[in-house]
Amino acid sequence: MSVDQSAMLRVENIHKNYGKEKVLEDISFEVKGGETKVIIGPSGTGKSTLLRCINQLTTPDSGRVWLDGIDITNSVADINQVRQSIGMVFQDFNLFSHLSALDNVRLGLVKVKKMDKREASQEAMRQLIRVGLEDKAASYPAELSGGQQQRVSIARALAMGPKLMLFDEPTSALDPELIGEVLGVMKDLAESGMTMLVVSHELGFARSICDEIIFIEKGVIVEQGSPEVLFGNPRHQRTREFLSKINELYGETGKK
């Protein structure tokens, strides 16, 4: 199959089953360089699995993933090399609990990228400044708020110099008053031209920065389109129902 040159990420016919349960069924889409796409859908519907299939933390049963024109599902690809180009941010932050904020960001630079320690410290500090946490460099994860931890985890992913950032419900574990600071960092990132794929229920965020929304249910892409179309006039009844349910829970769309 020919590869669209402008696609940073191209997902082709991903299938994934857990036993008899079909988690992902024939998922295909692409994200162009500099684009932000948001995946929405009911919980337990395979969104996290999909993100993990992209950086191969989970191996899809079939299908291909192309990053910047390279088939990373090909067994020849060095997956540890590939993963450096795909930043991932988790719902539960997953900071290394025995390391300070600075060391969390620095570890990958030193151990994976084999960067000189002093250079790595400077780079890690630059990333902490980028997420506004330079004064927390010496703090351990347990000493940080959830929002601060998530910003450190974004800095940790950015330090590796990724071409693509995956966000797996980055604000779902946060208290409401801490969500804004994380979304703010993500918004800056999107505006700086980063290619992003975000699983989130923050529809306001989706509306304000994303180029396209993908609605997934029961492992299948039900509908995808621009926020205007999906929020304004969704083609499918299920999309409509899901969006109105989310609105009930999180307040009116776009008001965040």
Binding site for other proteins (CB under 8 A): 55, 57, 80-84, 86-88, 90, 92, 94-98, 107-108, 111-112, 140-143, 153, 156-157, 160
* CB of 101 vs other proteins, minimal distance in Å: 12
* CB of 80 vs other proteins, minimal distance in Å: 5
Alpha-helical regions (H) of the chain: 47-54, 79-84, 101-111, 117-130, 146-159, 176-191, 203-209, 227-232, 237-250
Any idea what the Cα angle at residue 64 is, between residues 61 and 236, rounded to 5°? 85
46 to each of 123, 162, 224, how far by Cα in Å? Answer: 35, 24, 16
* CB of 204 vs other proteins, minimal distance in Å: 27
* CB of 86 vs other proteins, minimal distance in Å: 8
Give 82 or 209: the residue with its C-beta nearer to other proteins: 82
Paired residues of 7 in beta bridges: 32
- Helix, strand, or coil (residue 62): strand
Give 116 or 228: the residue with its C-beta nearer to other proteins: 116
* CB of 96 vs other proteins, minimal distance in Å: 6
User: In degrees rounded to 5, what are phi and psi of residue 107?
Assistant: -55, -50
* CB of 248 vs other proteins, minimal distance in Å: 30
Give 86 or 210: the residue with its C-beta nearer to other proteins: 86
Q: How far apart are CA 200 and CA 246, in angstroms?
A: 11
Give 140 or 250: the residue with its C-beta nearer to other proteins: 140
Per residue, what are the HEC states of 91-133?
CCCCCCCCCCHHHHHHHHHHHCCCCCHHHHHHHHHHHHHHCCC
96 to each of 12, 14, 114, 126, 185, how far by Cα in Å? Answer: 33, 31, 19, 19, 21
Give 55 or 195: the residue with its C-beta nearer to other proteins: 55
Give 20 or 98: the residue with its C-beta nearer to other proteins: 98
